[in-house]
Amino acid sequence: MSVTIYDLAREAGVGIGTVSRCLNNHPSVSAETRAKVLEVIKRLSYQPHASAQRLASKKTNTISAIIPFFTNYFFIQVLQGVQDKAAEFGFDLILYGVNNTSQAEYYLRRSLHRGHVDGVMFFSMKLPESYVQKFQQIRLPLVLVDAYHPEFDSISVKNLEGATMATRHLLKLGHTNIAMINASLATQPARDRMEGYRIALEEADVPFRNDRVFISEIGKQDGFNREAGRASMEDLIGKNSGKDRVTAVFIASDVQSMGALEGAAELGVRVPEDLAIVSFDDIELAQHAQLTTMRQPMYEMGVLALEKLTTRMKNPDAPPSQTTFLPSLVVRRSCGARVPSEQLV
Amino acid sequence: MSVTIYDLAREAGVGIGTVSRCLNNHPSVSAETRAKVLEVIKRLSYQPHASAQRLASKKTNTISAIIPFFTNYFFIQVLQGVQDKAAEFGFDLILYGVNNTSQAEYYLRRSLHRGHVDGVMFFSMKLPESYVQKFQQIRLPLVLVDAYHPEFDSISVKNLEGATMATRHLLKLGHTNIAMINASLATQPARDRMEGYRIALEEADVPFRNDRVFISEIGKQDGFNREAGRASMEDLIGKNSGKDRVTAVFIASDVQSMGALEGAAELGVRVPEDLAIVSFDDIELAQHAQLTTMRQPMYEMGVLALEKLTTRMKNPDAPPSQTTFLPSLVVRRSCGARVPSEQLV
DNA sequence: TATATTCTTGGAAGCGCTTCCAATTATTCA
DNA sequence: TGAATAATTGGAAGCGCTTCCAAGAATATA
């Protein structure tokens, strides 16, 4: 059938052990023998059998990434970082896109199959407690991205602090009637971002008002989507009249902002003249839409995630490491701050 | 160490063959025995060893997708279709994002390793001739997406016809001075779309003029990117004066259009009042930007790609099948056609 | 009841590799 | 020059599974 190391060994007049050592660049092969074997490998255009290598070596050089709604721009950009770094290390990356918790668990289980992958990256979801033990038991490296658990390596962004910075920026621009458009409070980021918003307000002695938080959970991703952003904005605008009109809004994500911008345009509300906007993420589109936003270092997070995974593989017993990034304010047009145009990014 | 079928067999008091048959739902196991084995499997929380299964069964249940610049929205949407269908069939999907031909070849070679994947999807690039033979020899299923080769299954879109339709639409709206913003003519889609543009013009007795085709190859992806679109638009606007001013432009892709819109806005050119735009792809953003565009059924293409791959696995000797989609015109604001707002998509 | 069928079952062989150990050969040191 | 050491090498064992074949058990047939 196809060429195996036995064929190579016979053809080169050496033992299979020697052939294997040649393939794996083991040092204890004489230059002469190595040359001979390499010649035969080339001549028979030998291809090692991946499954056999994996079975024998107990390494797969494969990792899996379990990502909710991976078509979301945020994940795409993180994924780009993961992908680039994986290529550099020679890992295959299995992409598991999931739409709900039960799918996520399915792929966690699948990743736990022995001999399937050497590591797992779990994105933006709460790790079910029942898997904590399993991962520890199998000692399968796991990195949480945009999530946290004390027992595992994790990478996340300071949502609360970021939201505070965003809101402070609006306060500094003179706004006091500041609303928030949020996603489902079932998600940690939404809770943290709201808390940050509240803190900034209270720092400035502006009372937090529940009726100024607009949440829509329509569509996918717990409301982190365009339709929900649009719905919330329409809701906001519909109720926005009277003396203490809202003049600014902090939106929990850029994706929602895209929808919110549509809604505002539709209803004739000008941004930033009538309504200033600051949002969160800095996806690629934010630049196009000229959104002032809190930048998350998405690509860098992806790179770091892969690095953490490889570090963990080499050193399974190191204590879990947690890295948090502080998002940074990127000022563009939507907040109404005057920016010299050459500073616009 | 970990639990193997030998442990299961011993514990359940049966042979390893029987255990294996239970695991693979082989019919010839008595209900009684099966129950007993399943109980033990559960009790010992057995996990089959993926590599061993693959080695013995010669199946990997894995496919690879080789995609240039996968963060491009076009690919993301195709990928979503692939991903959904792969999940349905129980395939693992390895994502190989590539940035140039040599990377693409590297991953083609890698995918050809025996026992690595059961099939390959190759996106939007010309398949190097040297791999034609290799794939046929190893009989590894290969599907070309947004590309074509007579020896393999392929899925593509009629770029030429689509471009003709797009240009005709502008002609029908009364424009006669119609420019085109294109990407590198090194790519087949760019050539086809330009040819379609030319055909529509000539049909209408409007002479094709080389100085009305604006091509920028800055940035990645052979000019299919935002910066290039913006540069071309700025170039166009800079030269656009006099009696036969350009009043409409056909842009080769939505991504370029996004940049073009930015450039136009920057220079105070209103779309569609001063300049009508029709472009190509219908990525998610096109809706947000209200682009009139030629819709490619991206998700459906992804789904179909996966289906073709599985069909090919079952039937390796079928003749290659080629599927082409005709893109459809989606009318939004950027072309200036009057559309009842409830018809806007 | 004896024989022919059909179900079930056990386990050896084999998938193609890595690795370890023992053996052989080459080299070094006194 | 001979013993000791180091560098190479061959190949058995083992990774954990699937599958095939032969055999035993159960059922059907006459």
Q: Which of B48, B77, B83 sits opposite A95 (nearest CB)?
A: B83
What confidence score (pLDDT) does residue B142 get?
98
What is the reported pLDDT for B340? Answer: 53
Strand order in the sheet with B328-330: B213-215, B178-182, B248-251, B276-281, B292-295, B328-330
Name every chain A residue with its beta carbon within 8 A of the beta carbon of B83. 70, 95, 97
Provide the pLDDT for residue A339. Answer: 63
- Within a 10 A sphere around the Cβ of B321, how many other Cβ atoms? 13
Task: Report the candidate in A74, A63, A80 with the shortest Cα–Cα distance to residue A302.
Answer: A80
Q: Model confidence over B1-37: pLDDT tens digits? A: 589 999 999 999 999 999 999 999 988 888 889 999 9
Q: Using CB atoms, which residue from A47, A55, A115 is nearest to B114?
A: A47
Whether any strand D atom is under 7 angstroms from the Cβ of A17: the reply reads yes
Residues of B in contact with A258 (CB under 8 A): 288
The three-class DSSP label of residue B102 is helix
Cβ atoms of B11 and B40 within 8 Å: the answer is: yes
Residue B134 gets the label, from left (phi > 0), alpha (psi -120 to 50) or beta, of alpha
Q: How would residue A340 be classed by pLDDT, with cut points 50, 70 and 90?
A: low
For residues A292 and A279, the answer to whether their CB atoms sit within 8 Å is: yes
User: Quick one: pLDDT band at residue A168, thresholds 50, 70, 90?
Assistant: very high
Pairing mode, strands B328-330 and B292-295: antiparallel
Per-residue pLDDT, A342: 47
* Angstrom distance, B17 CA to C12 C1': 11
B45 touches strand D (CB under 7 A): no
Q: What confidence category does residue A335 fall into, taking pLDDT thresholds of 50, 70 and 90?
A: very high
A198, A261, A35: which is closest to B287 by C-alpha?
A: A261
Q: B61 falls in which pLDDT band (50, 70, 90)?
A: very high
Contacts of A54 in chain B (CB under 8 A): 51, 54-55
How far apart CA B145 and CA A15 sit, in angstroms, is 44
In the predicted model, what is the mean pLDDT of residues A195-220? 96
User: Reading across the β-sheet that carries B92-98, which strands appear in turn?
Assistant: A322-325, A153-157, A142-145, A119-123, A62-68, A92-98, B92-98, B62-68, B119-123, B142-145, B153-157, B322-325
Q: Six-digit token pair at B272?
A: 């569609």
Residue A272 has pLDDT above 80, yes or no: yes
pLDDT in tens, A90-135: 999 999 999 999 999 999 999 999 999 999 999 999 999 999 999 9
Q: Could you tell me the CA-to-CA distances from A101 to A97, A104, A141, A331, B300 in Å, in that order?
A: 11, 5, 20, 36, 25
Convert the pLDDT of each residue in A129-155 to its tens digit: 999 999 998 899 999 999 999 999 999
- Reported as a pLDDT band with limits 50, 70 and 90, residue B288 is confident
Query: Average pLDDT, stretch B272-299?
Result: 94
- CA of B11 vs C1' of D17, distance in Å? 18
The average pLDDT across B310-317 equals 93
- Chain A residues 33 to 62 with C-beta below 7 Å from nucleic strand C: 46, 48-49, 52-53, 55-57
By C-alpha distance, which of A45, A43, A22 is closest to A34? A22
Shortest CA distance from A85: residue in chain B = B97
Evaluate whether B281 touches B88 at the Cβ level (below 8 Å). Answer: no
Q: Determine phi and psi for A309, rounding to 5 degrees.
A: -65, -45
The separation, in Å, between residue A36 CA and nucleotide D14 C1' comes to 28
Contacts of B80 in chain A (CB under 8 A): 70-71, 97
Section B245-268 average pLDDT: 95
What's the 3-state SS for chain A? CCCCHHHHHHHHCCCHHHHHHHHCCCCCCCHHHHHHHHHHHHHCCCCCCHHHHHHHHCCCCEEEEEEECCCCHHHHHHHHHHHHHHHHHCCEEEEEEECCHHHHHHHHHHHHCCCCCCEEEEECCCCCHHHHHHHHHHCCCEEEECCCCCCCEEEEECHHHHHHHHHHHHHHCCCCCEEEEECCCCCHHHHHHHHHHHHHHHHCCCCCCHHHEEECCCCCHHHCCHHHHHHHHHHHHHHCCCCCCCCEEEECCHHHHHHHHHHHHHCCCCCCCCCEEEEEECCHHHHHCCCEEEECCHHHHHHHHHHHHHHHHHCCCCCCCEEEECCEEECCHHHCCCCCHHHCC
Distance A11 CA to C23 C1' (A): 23
Residue A199 pLDDT > 90, yes or no? yes
Chain-centroid distance, C-alpha B166 = 21
Q: In the structure, what pLDDT confidence band is assigned to residue B342 with cuts at 50, 70 and 90?
A: very low
Query: Which residues in chain B, range 59-88, keep a C-beta under 7 Å from any nucleic strand D atom?
Result: none
pLDDT of A344 strictly over 90: no
SS (H, E, C) B34-86: HHHHHHHHHHCCCCCCHHHHHHHHCCCCEEEEEEECCCCHHHHHHHHHHHHHH
For strand D, which residues in window 55-94 of chain A come within 7 Å by CB? 55-56
* Contacts B77 to A, Cβ<8 Å: 71
pLDDT of residue B284: 85
Dihedral sign, CA of A54, A58, A60, A65? positive
Please tell me the distance in Å from A284's CA to the nearest CA on chain B. Answer: 10
Question: Chain B partners of A306 at a C-beta cutoff of 8 Å?
Answer: none
* pLDDT tens-digit readout, B147-159: 999 999 999 999 9
Q: State the Cα torsion A133-A135-A141-A147 to the nearest 10°.
A: -70
Domains and CATH numbers, chain A: 5-48 (1.10.260.40), 58-158+298-326 (3.40.50.2300), 159-296+329-343 (3.40.50.2300)
**Is residue A242 over pLDDT 90?**
no
**What residues in chain A have their Cβ under 8 A from chain B's Cβ atoms?**
2, 47-52, 54-55, 60, 62, 64, 70-71, 76-77, 79-80, 83-84, 87, 92-97, 103, 112-116, 226, 258, 262, 285, 288
Q: Measuring CA to CA, which residue among A200, A181, A182 is closest to residue A246? A: A181
CA separation for the pair B277, A305 (Å, rounded): 41
Sign of CA dihedral B211, B329, B158, B101: positive
Q: What is the CA radius of gyration of chain A?
A: 26
Confidence at residue B1, expressed as pLDDT on a 0 to 100 scale: 57
Average pLDDT, chain B: 94
Could you check: is the Cβ of residue B44 within 7 Å of any atom of nucleic acid strand D? no
B30 touches strand D (CB under 7 A): no
